[in-house]
Amino acid sequence: MTFDKILGHDRQKDILRRALANGRLAHAYLFAGPDGIGKRMLAIELARAIVCHEQRGCGNCPACRKIDNQNHPDLHTLEPDGTSIKIEKVRAFQRELNLKPLEAPRKICLIDHAEMMTTGASNALLKTLEEPRGDTLLILLTDQPNRLLDTIRSRCQILPFTRHPNSRIQAELEKRLELNPTEAHVLAALSDGSFKKAFGKDRELYLEQRKTLLKTLTGLSTGSILQMLEFAEQISADKAILPDILEIFQAFYRDVLTTLHGRDTDELVNLDLKEKIFRVASKESIPGILTKLEALMTAQRQLDRNVNRQLAMEVMLLDLTA
């Protein structure tokens, strides 16, 4: 049995491997942990191992290939429509579950973002969990296990997943994207332990434009109103990347704060901008930086509420240069 395609999560893989080998899989699992760290991938690998003609998720047999092509008749997935999973969808799902598996020894049902089930949907699913059938396996995925009903949680075997360490993400970025260690470090540090985030980051923005953006930001002074207005206009032009730009600014000021606290430089995100960080830190105080980080968070909240972007950026830059 191999789960080699999935990085990390060794304990969780071990538990599943052993359960598979002994024929003692639970009727329902709850994979709980942050988004983008491989929960769904592991669930799919488990499904492959179950349906595989060689019983190991070989990847080559017709059953494995059907899983990969998302057309295996015994793998069912349930996902939110927008922000919720409604009762009608759970009911339709249950009608499927009541039929015998067509090709595999079990029907495998994946519920992604299970916390988005409405109360009605959760109560409906509870019936399935209370009367498990030997030929079904439910895998619930969630990043917010506390939002699930207690009664649902207690009927699943819970496998907690944790974020990947930055060093692991950095190593993968270096290997797969051929980034240099500093670039890989910056992306890894900004990815909250998520491979998905790390690989999904706009590299042009985070690696190249980051330096120019921070140069302009730190070059602004209280008196340069015109320059500030131009910069506000520039960064607010593209609604889609503005949150990323704020994330870059935030990471920079957190680096300055780390420096002011006298912590190790290994903890910095912007390892390639140490001198700039030290220079800014020499002119700043801890309360001053905390105020700036607060201004960035306020701006972020305002963007979430769809306020005028440019105005929000002007106010934020005024606070950042105060």
The residues that touch Zn ion, with contacts defined as CB under 5 A, are 52, 58, 61, 64
Which strands sit side by side in the sheet containing 75-78, from one edge to the other? 75-78, 107-111, 136-142, 28-32, 157-160
Helical pair 225-236 and 242-260, crossing angle rounded to 10 deg: 120
> What's the min distance (Å) between Cβ of 61 and Zn ion?
3
Q: Which is nearer to Zn ion, 52 or 139 (CB)?
A: 52
Q: What is the DSSP letter of 204?
A: I
Q: Which is nearer to Zn ion, 61 or 97 (CB)?
A: 61
> What's the min distance (Å) between Cβ of 51 and Zn ion?
7
φ, ψ at 255 (rounded to 5°): -60, -40
> What's the min distance (Å) between Cβ of 38 and Zn ion?
20
Q: Which is nearer to Zn ion, 52 or 316 (CB)?
A: 52
> What's the min distance (Å) between Cβ of 48 and Zn ion?
6
Q: Which is nearer to Zn ion, 52 or 184 (CB)?
A: 52
> What's the min distance (Å) between Cβ of 104 and Zn ion?
11
Q: Which is nearer to Zn ion, 50 or 138 (CB)?
A: 50
| Single-letter residue type at 50 | I
Q: Which is nearer to Zn ion, 52 or 280 (CB)?
A: 52
Helical pair 274-283 and 210-219, crossing angle rounded to 10 deg: 20
Q: What is the DSSP letter of 164?
A: P
Show the tokens assigned to 111: 């519920």
Q: Which is nearer to Zn ion, 58 or 158 (CB)?
A: 58
> What's the min distance (Å) between Cβ of 54 and Zn ion?
5
Instruction: Please tell me the total number of residues recorded for the chain in this structure.
Output: 322
Q: How many CA atoms lie within 13 A of 158 on its CB side?
A: 16
> What's the min distance (Å) between Cβ of 138 and Zn ion?
22
Nearest to 314 by CA among 226, 239, 245: 226
Show the tokens assigned to 127: 């019936």
Q: Which is nearer to Zn ion, 5 or 175 (CB)?
A: 5
Q: Which is nearer to Zn ion, 58 or 205 (CB)?
A: 58
> What's the min distance (Å) between Cβ of 112 and Zn ion?
23
Query: Could you give the 3-state DSSP secondary structure of residue 181?
Result: helix
- Contacting residues for 64 by C-beta, under 8 A, at least 6 apart: 48, 51, 52, 53, 57, 58
- Where would I find the H helices in 134-241? 150-153, 166-177, 181-189, 195-200, 203, 210-219, 225-236
Show the tokens assigned to 73: 């008749």
> What's the min distance (Å) between Cβ of 58 and Zn ion?
3
* 104 vs 255: CA distance, rounded Å: 52
Q: What is the DSSP letter of 270?
A: -
